[in-house]
Amino acid sequence: MIVTVVGARPQFVKAAILSRALRDAGIEEIMIHTGQHYDEKMSNVFWQELGLPECTINLEGGSGSHGVQTARMIEKMEAFILSLNPAPRALLLYGDTNSTLAGSLVASKIQLPIIHVEAGLRSFNRSMPEEVNRIITDHLSSLLFCSSQESVNQLASEGITRGVFNTGDVMFDAIKTFTAEAERKIRIDTLLPFSERPFCLLTLHRPASTESDNNIKNMLKVIKDISMPFIWPVHPRLRSKIAQMDISGNIYTTDPFSYFEMLTVLKHCYKVFTDSGGLQKEAYWMKKPCITLRPETEWVETVHHGWNTVVDFDSEKISRAFAETVLPETWYSVYGDGNAAKIMADHIKDFLN
């Protein structure tokens, strides 16, 4: 039996796919929800859409500073795992959130092997909390599943070579699994507060983005000069800030999208503006040019031929990136063939045996 830790919406999507593969491989799984994302549209709706297994416990980690939130998760998670009988044989972690860090610290202290999905990613910017979380987790893990050879090479440069596998990306599995279902269930005209025509998708959620009024104002100034509507599902962290700003003209805000809603909007949009790591990949797989509102990206494979342009919040770079045309024939497949979950489950089964 293994324990899986999830807490944020990208982790829910990954777990929906890998949990199926674990069941098919005969591996028993207990799932912990840390409560890092607790808003209805950021959490519960994913269980309804994706058929996730019921969580055994919700730690109700909630909001707060990074230290407070992570400490709360660590205390509750350790107590729960130590109460399990029989004891689990491994802890499965996704990505680079505070939930991931809490899990890696708990497991390392109680001598529980760690399985890390999305290992080896680096932005080389340690001011990002996610960068610290992923480095610590990688160096504590026994099984490390990488989305690409680039991540395998990065781990090797840090001296990590045992238990490392290039499996491809489980989020590509999710795109292949759920896109058709999303199309059947969600109509694009129900999601847009304007008549359907070429439009862009905008998302922001990272503290480096959301805590800077200047960044947001620079971005909005450029976007308002673009003659195309933007749909902006607003992260709960930004609600109060956005309420005090002049969001008008071609910018339309809405509540966060469910996963199926996001897939539907992605399929129909013209370009994507985001600071999200996961959405950069999803835009690439959907063959939608992405403009990344960060100073760097860990998903370096998406940058080729202008499919992903890293602009930070520089007004001139944003304008140039929007104006550039991306040639469809330059697209090629990255991050595996959409069979990552089965590959991971097979490696986990071998590890446990």
Are residue 11 and residue 80 in the same domain, yes or no?
Answer: yes
Are residue 208 and residue 126 in the same domain, yes or no?
Answer: no
In a domain, 115, yes or no: yes
Are residue 154 and residue 22 in the same domain, yes or no?
Answer: yes
Q: How far apart are CA 43 and CA 38, in angstroms?
A: 6
Are residue 231 and residue 152 in the same domain, yes or no?
Answer: no
DSSP 120: T
DSSP 309-339: EE-TT-HHHHHHHHHPPPPGGG----S-SS-
pLDDT of residue 153: 98
Exactly one of 33, 37, 205, 268 is catalytic; name it. 205
In a domain, 175, yes or no: no
Per the structure, the count of domains in the chain is 2
Tokens of 227: 């003659």
Tokens of 277: 């790591």
In a domain, 48, yes or no: yes
CATH code for the domain of 236 = 3.40.50.2000
* Cβ 241 vs Cβ 210: under 8 Å: yes
- Mean pLDDT of successive 10-residue stretches along the chain, which has 353 residues: 94 94 97 76 71 82 76 94 97 96 97 98 92 97 97 98 98 95 93 90 86 84 92 86 80 93 96 95 97 95 96 93 96 95 98 96
Are residue 227 and residue 323 in the same domain, yes or no?
Answer: yes
Active site residue 205: yes
Whether residue 86 has a cis bond before it, omega within 30° of 0: yes
Its pTM stands at 0.92
pLDDT of residue 44: 74
Are residue 11 and residue 158 in the same domain, yes or no?
Answer: yes
pLDDT of residue 62: 66
Domain range for 294:
181-330
pLDDT of residue 43: 60
In a domain, 176, yes or no: no
In a domain, 174, yes or no: no
In a domain, 316, yes or no: yes
